[in-house]
Amino acid sequence: MILSETLTKRAAPYLACLGLLLVWQCASLGLNNDSFPTAVEAIRAIPSILGDKESLINFAASLRRMAIGFGLAVVISIPLGLMMGRSRAVASFFNPLLMVIYPVPKAALMPIIMLWLGVGDIAKTLVIFLGVSLPVIYHSFEGAKAVEEKMLWSGAAMGLSAPQRLRRIVLPAALPEILTGCRTGLVLALITMITSEMIARQSGAGNILFNALDMGQYDTVFAMIIIIGAMGIGFDALFERMRARLVRWSEQQLDIPLSFS
């Protein structure tokens, strides 16, 4: 009984995928629209995209930018967020600036950044960096704010200096919350990557997608949507595994990310 229950739980995401594809298939058969291929047709177009050397190079370029942007953002945002969470002065120093930046679509900065840095890797990586930073800062901030004062006092009583306390008490205590932020950031990195490539059509997965749209290759469009969607789900699942291992000791938090653009 318990076995079958875990089995259903494991199978549920796959069933959901299958169900969604089925709905798609039925909808496209029902609508019979030229520009809306069936799910089967779209899936059939995937191997030709993934087999093409050119598009693999595009994917590799995308992933490289995403990895660099995400890595840099995490390394810089976590300490900043933690300091904001522990010091009122630092928090009130950065809060208004971040609030002003928050609602600006980071990918919309692309045209301006392109004027300065060109259409190359640097501009796109910078945009991904900006996009990922905010949720990571926010969650680190929230995590650090919730750390129990008593633990910090005992740390101070045992002779830890302020930076040591930040690293050895605040960082581990805020880790679950920080990782939630990183998970949001990861999905966001993917989204920003696609949008930045759509605006500066030079290379990358977003480039393939929107060029196919412009040229009316609808199979490719929908196949790319499946591939990008699968990347999002795959990265998220991988990160979730790593997160679960790192914070085994903490109680289970949100098991679905609050992704945002």
Partner 1 sequence: MKVRAVATDLLLGLVPIALLVGLWQALVSFGYAPVALLPPPGQVFSRLLQQLLTDTFRQEIASTLLRLFAGFSIAVVLGVSVGVAAAVSPAISAVVRPIVGVLAPLPKVALYPALLLLVGFGHESKIMLVTADALFPILLSSYYGASTVEQKLIWSAMAAGTPPHQILFKVVLPAAAPSILTGCRIGLVISCIVVFLAEMITSTDGLGHVLVTAARTFQAVDMFVPLITISLLGLILNGLLEALRSYLLRGFLESDTRF
Binding interface with partner 1 (CB under 8 A): 12-13, 15-17, 19-20, 33, 35-36, 88-89, 91-109, 111-112, 115-116, 138, 141-142, 145, 187, 190-191, 194-195, 198-199, 209-210, 213, 218, 221-222, 224-225, 228-229, 232-233, 235-236, 254-261
Of 103 and 159, which has the nearer Cβ to partner 1? 103
**Which residue's structure tokens are 């950065």?**
94
Helix (H) or strand (E) holding 257: none
Number of Cβ atoms within 10 Å of the Cβ of 105: 12
Q: Can you read off the two tokens belonging to residue 227?
A: 């591939």
Q: How far apart are CB 103 and partner 1 at their closest, in Å?
A: 2
In angstroms, rounded to a whole number, what is the distance separating the alpha carbons of residues 206 and 59? 9
Of 116 and 157, which has the nearer Cβ to partner 1? 116
Which of 40, 55, 67, 69 lies closest to 209 in space, CA to CA?
A: 55
The 8 Å CB, 24+ separation contacts for 50-58 are 50/227, 55/208, 57/203, 58/203, 58/204, 58/205, 58/207, 58/208
Q: How far apart are CB 98 and partner 1 at their closest, in Å?
A: 6
Of 102 and 153, which has the nearer Cβ to partner 1? 102
At residue 126, what is the residue type?
A: L
Of 86 and 106, which has the nearer Cβ to partner 1? 106
Of 164 and 261, which has the nearer Cβ to partner 1? 261
Q: How far apart are CB 123 and partner 1 at their closest, in Å?
A: 13
Question: For residues 261 and 108, is the Cβ–Cβ distance under 8 A?
Answer: no
Q: How far apart are CB 112 and partner 1 at their closest, in Å?
A: 5
Of 3 and 157, which has the nearer Cβ to partner 1? 3
Q: How far apart are CB 2 and partner 1 at their closest, in Å?
A: 16
Q: How far apart are CB 68 and partner 1 at their closest, in Å?
A: 18
In angstroms, rounded to a whole number, what is the distance separating the alpha carbons of residues 80 and 94? 9
Question: For residues 104 and 124, is the Cβ–Cβ distance under 8 A?
Answer: no
In angstroms, rounded to a whole number, what is the distance separating the alpha carbons of residues 177 and 139? 6
